[in-house]
Amino acid sequence: MENRENPLLGRKVFFLNPPLSIENYVIDSLKNEEYEVYKITELTYAKPLLRHFENAICFIFIDDVLTIDGWYNFIKSFERDESLKSIFLGILSVKTKPKEQERFLMNLKLPGGFVMLDKKIEETKKQLEGILRINGAKGVRKCIRLDLKERNDVNGYLTIGDQLFSFRLIDMSIMGFAAVLPLRLSKYIKKDTFIHNVSITMGRFSFVSAITVYAVKENNGKLLLIALFVDGTSRDIIKKIHNFVFNSLDNNIKDLIDNLPPDYTDYNSRLVEKAEEALENNDEVVELEEVDAASEEKTDEKESATEGKKTETE
């Protein structure tokens, strides 16, 4: 079911088949402003991937890979797929003519609009960011948090008195982290406590920073800590945390794609248009690639029935 309300925790943003200007400037620029942005370079994995992310936004560059009619068929197919109806689609183009733009805007659901890339890249980025803002891409989030519950390469260390304690991080962002500590530290760690020299290891990268305890509570025999990095944390550290978060998210998407079945539908084919017409006229579920096969089966059935009648008559 379509959901036109902006989700509380925002939306993932995808760029399908992005041109170099979008890939080299806009995507990184949006990431720097803490939008959760990804690129999809292969059309065959676009729909299989998007099915996993309800309410995502996807901007599609339509100037190559498919014909203009092929892209129309591809976008129209989202409206017929219950698992894709919630995806907010937008179009990017350099060369689409006004008549074709009107065709797309009048006949397709495009909450992401039709953005012509005929202006300065800074203006394009500003226009896209406006669309993301209207559609609640950030939600209430100020920054993107990386879930670390399934990872064992991100750990923390702090010293209390003459003892060194290790702890496990469960999520992280450029603003701070959540972690699980031994319960016996509860007498030392209270809300608003300022802690010097907390060491964090993220894969091959380590840093030391001061933190402020934002919240702390007991949970299942452990101490759950929510900490914020202090204002004086260096830009270099913040940048490395940012890169680690977004590189990890990109790798998560790549791992997911590696385990998805590709979509080999020929959207340039007239068969796709026939399938859409059948759906509109009969409200039947039609597999796009089986339109002709279905027709052939019906023809074979008629021929068999005719031969049967002849045999009975004889």
30/122 same-domain check? yes
The share of the chain scoring above pLDDT 90, in percent, equals: 74
pLDDT band at 3 (very low <50, low <70, confident <90, very high): very low
127/150 same-domain check? no
159, β-bridge pairs = 164
* Averaged pLDDT for residues 177-205: 92
The share of the chain scoring above pLDDT 70, in percent, equals: 84
Q: Enter the pTM of the model.
A: 0.83
25/125 same-domain check? yes
**Residue 204: per-residue pLDDT:** 87
113/66 same-domain check? yes
- Determine, yes or no, domain membership for 241: no
Neighbouring C-beta atoms of residue 55, cutoff 10 Å: 19
Q: Give the mean pLDDT of the chain.
A: 87
Which residue, of 206, 233, 260, is where some domain finishes? 233
Is residue 41 over pLDDT 90?
A: yes
157/74 same-domain check? no
Which residue, of 108, 134, 160, is where some domain finishes? 134
- Determine, yes or no, domain membership for 140: no
- Determine, yes or no, domain membership for 194: yes
120/179 same-domain check? no
66: domain CATH number is: 3.40.50.2300
- Determine, yes or no, domain membership for 248: no
21/128 same-domain check? yes
What is the Cα–Cα distance from 298 to 31, expressed in whole angstroms?
Answer: 53
**Residue 57: per-residue pLDDT:** 97
225: domain CATH number is: 2.40.10.220
- Which has the minimum average pLDDT: 144-153, 236-245, 285-294? 285-294
Angstrom CA distances, 308 to 84, 129, 167, 294, 298, stand at 45, 66, 78, 21, 15
| Residue found under tokens 């385990």 | 259
Which residue, of 110, 134, 158, is where some domain finishes? 134
pLDDT tens digits, 7-33? 788 899 999 999 999 999 999 999 999
**Residue 2: per-residue pLDDT:** 38
pLDDT band at 203 (very low <50, low <70, confident <90, very high): confident
Q: What share of the chain is helix, strand, coil (3-state, %, to 5)?
A: 40, 25, 35
- Determine, yes or no, domain membership for 252: no
22/130 same-domain check? yes
Which residue range(s) make up the domain with 286? 270-308
| Residue found under tokens 């209270």 | 190
Regarding beta strands 194-202 and 163-172, do their DSSP bridges make them parallel or antiparallel, or are they unpaired?
unpaired
| Amino acid identity at 134 | I
18/125 same-domain check? yes
- Determine, yes or no, domain membership for 249: no
- Determine, yes or no, domain membership for 246: no
Is residue 293 over pLDDT 80?
A: no
Domain count, the chain: 3
Residue whose C-alpha is closest to residue 119's, from 94, 100, 144: 94
- Determine, yes or no, domain membership for 76: yes
pLDDT band at 160 (very low <50, low <70, confident <90, very high): confident
**Residue 163: per-residue pLDDT:** 86
